[in-house]
Amino acid sequence: MSSRDFQSYAHHELSREEIINFSRQYIGINMAELIGADEAHFPFIIKDGERVTICFWESQFGIVMHHDEDPVKAYATQRYLRENAYPVFDSMEAAEAYAIAHNWPRPDKS
């Protein structure tokens, strides 16, 4: 991954046009890696109507929501995940059902 410094827009009120424009700083960056994805921390998207949430599947906890205060970085991450065939689900229940059907590592309930 690049060691670039990125401009943060956390806690800024931005228009959709500004978010899209400013997100260009992330072109060519592996956003999954940038937000901490690895074998035990797998990102995906839940799109429930207009609401889009980035989540992780963690073998220790199951579904964990990822919250990013920077709307530009969040937009770039969503775009990257979609463009790189990461799963998109309509609900938490659909994500959970998919995880079970595809034998994703389950949290230890001991």
The pLDDT tens digits for 3-34 are 478 999 999 999 999 999 999 999 999 999 99
Kindly report the pTM of this predicted structure.
0.87
What digits encode the pLDDT tens for the residues 40-93? 889 999 998 889 999 999 988 889 999 999 999 999 999 999 999 999 999 999
Q: What b/e readout covers 24-63, taking b as 16+ CB neighbours within 10 angstroms?
A: ebbeebebbebbebeeebbbbbbeeeeeebbbbbeeeebb
C-alpha distance from residue 32 to each of 13, 49, 56, 77, 101 (Å)? 24, 23, 10, 7, 23
Q: Give strand pairing partners of 52.
A: 47
**How many other CB atoms are there within 10 angstroms of residue 104's CB atom?**
16
pLDDT at 3: 47
Q: Give strand pairing partners of 66.
A: 54
**Residue 93 — φ and ψ, nearest 5°?**
-65, -40
Which residue would you say has higher pLDDT here, 54 or 108?
Answer: 54
pLDDT at 110 over 60: no
- Element of type H or E holding 92: helix 92-101
